[in-house]
Amino acid sequence: MRTRHLMVLLLAVAMPLSAVPARADEPVPRKAFRVCSDPSNLPFSDRAGDGYENRIAELFAQSLQLPVEYFFLAQRMNFVRNSLRFKLPGEDFPCDIIMGVPEGFGQVATTHAYFRSTHTLVYVKGRRLDGVRSVADFLALGESLRSMRIGVYDRSPASEWLARHGLVDSGIPYRMLNADPDFHPSQILERDLVDGTLDAAIVWGPVAGYAAKRITGAELVVIAMPSEPGVRFDFAVAMGVRHGETDWKAQIDALITANEARITEILDEYGIPRVAEGGAALR
């Protein structure tokens, strides 16, 4: 999730455990709010600071009266090991926080979740799927689904969902990890869905919501997909710090709580769909 189109899922799938042991820290004065970040991964982050994680990092830094500093690294294999947990003898870690990880992600100590989203079914209004307003509506199309082209990222819950509903032959797989450093996960929608190569796509909610706001010349319909037995679509998103840094984690937890309203405003600006546990839509 290189497509951290699941930082919420893709980190959990793609990254092996770090070989660098964590250590408990002693509280020290911080000179900057130092973020481990992908330089080209909208809507999450980019080098220009245009992602929603960049905006939340700026918000927290202002609260702490610190400048923001980024350690940029493409979120591929070993991202945590090579950023948050990378330390040479006699040197400091290059960054102190990852702004978006699955709640409970074992490679880091996770904060309180600051939102929950789910995978979404997306199509272009005015084409074959007009009238579909839920997953049940989509499945009710029956045999006509066999001729549809449904884009999914490999090794994502969408692939398993297609298999469970007998739609494997309708799936068009996309690689979860892409070698192009400028690739970002919404391209499946901005390019192939809009131009008609795909009839529908199943992607992580923040990617779909951002694309729906960003794309011009086509209107995307975004439908939250509830989890079902055997296929989990919804994930809570937290922030990650090093294991053992309890004071720092508590400080971030306090910032999440104090800035809840402003975080919600930022997520709304990016069209991020939020759901209750299980995937029922909240907005």
Residue 168 CB coordination number (10 Å): 12
pLDDT at 217: 86
Average pLDDT, the chain: 88
- In the predicted model, what is the mean pLDDT of residues 86-95? 93
Q: Is the pLDDT of residue 195 over 80?
A: yes
Whether the per-residue pLDDT at 61 is higher than 80: the answer is yes
**How many CA atoms does the CB half-sphere of 162 hold within 13 Å?**
25
What pLDDT is recorded for position 181? 64
Give the model's pLDDT for residue 97: 98
What homologous superfamily is domain 4-115+235-269 in, according to CATH? Periplasmic binding protein-like II (3.40.190.10)
Note the pLDDT tens digit of each residue in 215-251.
988 999 999 999 999 999 999 999 999 999 999 999 9
CATH 3.40.190.10 location in the chain = 4-115+235-269, 118-224
207 pLDDT above the threshold of 70: yes
Q: Which fold has domain 118-224?
A: D-Maltodextrin-Binding Protein; domain 2 (3.40.190)
**Mean per-residue pLDDT, 181-198:** 84
- Taking the C-alpha atoms of 151, 268, 6 and 197 in order, what is their torsion angle to the nearest 10 degrees? 10
- Per the rule left: phi > 0, alpha: psi between -120 and 50, beta: everything else, 69 is beta
pTM of the shown model: 0.87
Phi/psi at 260 (5° precision): -55, -45
- Please report, for residues 77, 246, 267, the alpha-carbon distance to residue 252 in angstroms, rounded to integers and kept in the order given: 26, 10, 18
The secondary structure of the chain as a DSSP string is: ---GGGTTTHHHHH-PPPSSPP--------SSEEEEE-SEETTTEETTS-SHHHHHHHHHHHHHT--EEEEE--SSTTHHHHTTT---TTS--S-SEEEEEETT-TTSEE----EEEEEEEEEETTSTTTT--SHHHHHTTGGGGGG--EEEETTSHHHHHHHHTT-GGGEEEE-SS-S-TT--TTHIIIIIITTTS-SEEEEEHHHHHHHHHH--SS-EEEEE---BTTB--EEEEEEEE-TT-HHHHHHHHHHHHHTHHHHHHHHHHTT---B-TTS-B--
Span 141-160, average pLDDT: 93
d(CA 226, CA 218): 25
